[in-house]
Amino acid sequence: MSLTVRYFAALRERMGTAEEAVDTPATTGTELIAWLIERDSRANVLEHPSTRIIVNDEIVSRKHALKAGDVVAFCPPFSGG
């Protein structure tokens, strides 16, 4: 299915892009991470437990079921304030 994947802060710099459209068989966050790593090993940082996933503006767990058209954002730990 087609997804929009976004990367923020250190993850954006690591992946070399802020946003990309992907067509993937992945159906969960965990599967999407595995698929991205297989495509490009630089994505291995996404596996880090501190990486948060925001799907369509909501923080979700890696088991969250993805559907076509979702916007999936990978975020390093927050450091505001």
Q: Which residue's entry shows tokens 């495509």?
A: 39
Among 1, 2, 10, 67, interactor with another protein by CB under 8 A: 10
- Structure token digits, residue 34: 């595995």
Q: With binding defined as CB under 8 A, does residue 53 bind another protein?
A: no
The distance of closest approach from Cβ of residue 57 to another protein in the complex, given in angstroms and rounded to an integer, is: 5
Q: Which of residues 1 and 71 has its CB atom nearest to another protein in the complex? A: 71
Q: With binding defined as CB under 8 A, does residue 37 bind another protein?
A: no
DSSP string, 26-64: --BHHHHHHHHHHH-GGGGGGGSTT-EEEETTEEE-TTP
Cross-strand partners of 52: 75
Q: With binding defined as CB under 8 A, does residue 57 bind another protein?
A: yes
- The footprint of another protein (CB under 8 A) covers 8-10, 50, 54, 57, 73, 75-81
